[in-house]
Homo-oligomer: A and B are copies of this chain.
Amino acid sequence: MSGAQNAPGAPAGSGADDRKRADARRNIEAIVEAATRLLAVDPDASVSEIAKVAGVGRVTLYGHFATRTTLLREVVDRAIDQTDRTLAGVDFDGAPREALGRLLEMSWQLTHRFGALVVAASGTLPPEEIRRAHDQPAERVRLLLERGRTDGSFRADMPIEWQISVIQAVLHGASAAVHRGEITADEAPELVRSTVLAALAG
């Protein structure tokens, strides 16, 4: 969270300073939140548009994030953190097909919220940082697929890498279909779940 910390060693305790720091924190949160929402729908959203939606001036925004890339990196870092935390809360035990169903449900929410944002970042941030957004989730899916391929829950006649790609493709495809108005965000989780489970059925 590069831009989000207070200056280390800043004097604490003065009321005016406390208020300033609280203001700064609120502004940073508003900027990151606005950037997350805007970039998810419009990958080319400008710093001015983000500042406007955040309700802060351009000067204030640049005071916290010196460049658009710095802001983008912060937004992606937080998206990855939230993704990791959310997926860590998913129950991976029990029948593999049901566990994958639960995982897909959460993954759909995260993909729909952050997917276009990661695409937005792909022109600006180095590929390694983009890959980080998928590595951890992919690792969890892999462990689950391995278990399900062993007990016959999932087909084992295709590479596991391919099955992970299919899951990611269907999740991103669903998000794009919602943006195009072909399906609703309410229908998406169940469509993703039943499509992926059918594609992977053992």
Contact of A165 among B159, B168, B182, B194 (CB under 8 A): B182
* Residue of A155, A165, A196 with most chain B CB atoms under a 10 A cut-off: A165
Contact A166 B170 (CB under 8 A): yes
Contact of A198 among B162, B169, B173, B201 (CB under 8 A): B201
A149 interface contact, C-beta 8 A: no
Provide the main secondary structure of the chain A interface. helix
Contacts of A159 in B (CB 8 A): 182-183, 187, 191
In whole angstroms, what is the CA distance A201 to B201 when docked? 11
A172 interface contact, C-beta 8 A: yes
Contacts of A198 in B (CB 8 A): 155, 198-201
Contacts of A170 in B (CB 8 A): 166, 169-170
In whole angstroms, what is the CA distance A195 to B161 when docked? 13
Contact A173 B166 (CB under 8 A): yes
Contact A165 B174 (CB under 8 A): yes
Contact B158 A165 (CB under 8 A): no
A54 interface contact, C-beta 8 A: no
Contacts of A166 in B (CB 8 A): 170, 173, 195
